[in-house]
Structure 1
Amino acid sequence: MSHTLNLYLVGPMGAGKSTIGRLLSSELGLDFIDSDREIEERCGTNIPWIFDKEGEHGFRAREESAIDELTQMSGILLATGGGVVMRQANRTHLAGRGTVVYLRTSVEQQLARTGRDKNRPLLQTENPQKVLTDLFTKRDPLYQEIADIVIQTDQRNPRNVVNEIMRRLAENNIIDGSNEDTYS
């Protein structure tokens, strides 16, 4: 397998990007990077604080800069924030500099996975279900636009999702599939 492989996981909050990303990166021997954690480290504070002080626009500017830098690295698996696709520059960098895997999940599954998470500024509202539904409507076509592979993650064990991604990467000749029976 080539060491220049870059995999980028996109999808809504609660799709499993961090969990699946960690498992998949170790399977593929790639460095795992979570763009939200990276932004927090650079700023020395958490994302809710950035949203609070700089608004979503300020956060998106920081995110765009981080995505541009991170996608120029090689041999990485990057788990992105749910809103990364809202900026054209991010979509261009992700689609042009690596293989994009869209972890697609339902609003119901997102609510189950993120319901009590205070680290998600967009969900600090009376009606998180409406927020997630509106975000899905806006973002799903953008995730689809840049995705090389789309995987449904609802009600699935992360290991099964990883195996399916490995199988699909091999089918698309993105990784060597000579030991493909391992992924079935």
Structure 2
Amino acid sequence: MKSNIVLIGFMGTGKSSIGRQLAKVLQKDFIDTDQEIERLTGLTIPRIFAKHGEVRFRSEEKLMVKKVAKRENCVISTGGGVVLAPENVAELKKNGILICLSASPETILARIGRGSNRPLLRKKKSIEEIRRLLEDREPYYRCADFYIDTTGLQTSEIIEKIVQLLRERGRDHAESKS
């Protein structure tokens, strides 16, 4: 049975904050792939984008995914674009249940703030740009096993939904084995 919970989704949907709390509730280790990339390279994600470009960042991301996907009993929060590379999805699915967190464009804009340092929204931080990026990425997020819209929900409610999905999946898995 898969032991990792992998949170995917667009920026500002709550992957890191939910992941941290979910790991505590489930008594699992927490890994944030973006934080691990920053720790390993000594550069912030915006700095990697500015200095080396998106191609370099995606390369670092692939290496990090390969590394963390081998871990056991973890909640893994991924960067919003991790699903753009099919090999990342394949690695994460080997030992993980993928849960896609989503939110309305308005909620995302409110959460990331107009002054945030998100590389892909550095020039145009608008509802229209968020909608465009969401539309572009929507097909990639279809790889998830479960989907949760975090719009208007408290962290505790989202965690409760995830725990319930995992319980139901566990029961279904146990029943299919018998």
TM-score (norm 2): 0.91
State the match for 1:84 in structure 2. Answer: 82
Deviations 1:111-141 (A, max 9, x none): 0100235331111113432331121112122
Alpha-carbon separation, structure 1, partners of 2:115 and 2:66: 28
Residues 97-108 of structure 1 mapped to structure 2, 5 A cutoff: 97-108=95-106
Partner residue of 2:30 out of 29, 32, 38: 32
Tell me by how many angstroms 1:5 deviates: 1.3
State the match for 2:150 in structure 1. Answer: 153
Matched residue type, 2:53: G
Q: Which runs of 4+ in 1 moved over 4 A?
A: none
Structure 2: which 5+ residue stretches go unaligned? Answer: 174-178
Deviations 1:17-39 (A, max 9, x none): 11110111001111001100000
CA contact (8 A) 1:122 1:131 kept: no
State the match for 2:108 in structure 1. Answer: 110
Matched residue type, 2:46: P
State the match for 2:164 in structure 1. Answer: 167
Alpha-carbon separation, structure 1, partners of 2:106 and 2:133: 13
User: Which SS does the other structure have where 2:31 is aligned?
Assistant: strand
Tell me by how many angstroms 1:172 deviates: 0.9
Matched residue type, 2:40: R
Tell me by how many angstroms 1:96 deviates: 2.5
CA contact (8 A) 1:169 1:175 kept: no
CA contact (8 A) 1:107 1:129 kept: yes
70 and 101 in structure 1: CA distance in 2 versus 1, 3 angstrom threshold? same
State the match for 1:17 in structure 2. Answer: 15
168 and 49 in structure 1: CA distance in 2 versus 1, 3 angstrom threshold? same
Alpha-carbon separation, structure 2, partners of 1:83 and 1:60: 8
User: Which SS does the other structure have where 1:42 is aligned?
Assistant: helix
Residues 57-136 of structure 1 mapped to structure 2, 5 A cutoff: 57-136=55-134
Deviations 1:10-67 (A, max 9, x none): 0110000111101110011110011000000000110111001111111000001100
User: Which SS does the other structure have where 1:147 is aligned?
Assistant: coil
CA contact (8 A) 2:114 2:125 kept: no
Alpha-carbon separation, structure 1, partners of 2:172 and 2:38: 31
Tell me by how many angstroms 1:175 deviates: 10
TM-score (norm 1): 0.88
Q: Give aligned pairs, total.
A: 174
State the match for 1:54 in structure 2. Answer: 52
CA contact (8 A) 1:12 1:104 kept: yes
User: Which SS does the other structure have where 2:148 is aligned?
Assistant: strand
